[in-house]
């Protein structure tokens, strides 16, 4: 897996999104660094391709309703 951080964008295996890689937060499953995905205001593990937090129950939330099942589409 190739991860590149450029300013306010992250590229993971050629998939780009606005956010950043965390240097002090790790996946509880595999211990990889977490990524912050700005469009969904949520952290995820690139290695596990899973969100680190559940969707909220607020029906007016602008982030959670449009969040996909997995953060990275091509895994």
In a domain, 16, yes or no: yes
Provide the whole-model pTM: 0.90
pLDDT more than 90, % of the chain: 88
- How many domains is the chain built from? 1
Q: What pLDDT does residue 53 have?
A: 92
Q: What is the pLDDT of residues 51-72, one digit of tens each?
A: 999 999 998 999 999 999 999 9
d(CA 2, CA 31): 17
In a domain, 71, yes or no: no
- Rounded to the nearest integer, the mean pLDDT of the chain is 93
CB 8 within 8 A of CB 20: yes
Higher-confidence residue of 74 and 58: namely 58
Instruction: Residue 25: give the domain boundaries.
Output: 3-66
């Amino acid at each position: 897996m190739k991860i590149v951080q450029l300013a306010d964008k992250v590229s993971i295996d050629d998939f780009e999104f606005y956010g950043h890689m965390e240097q002090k937060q790790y996946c509880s499953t595999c211990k990889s660094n977490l990524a912050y995905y700005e469009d969904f205001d949520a952290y995820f593990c690139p290695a596990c391709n899973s969100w680190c937090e559940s969707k909220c129950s607020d029906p007016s939330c602008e982030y959670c309703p449009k969040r996909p099942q997995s953060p990275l589409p091509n895994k």
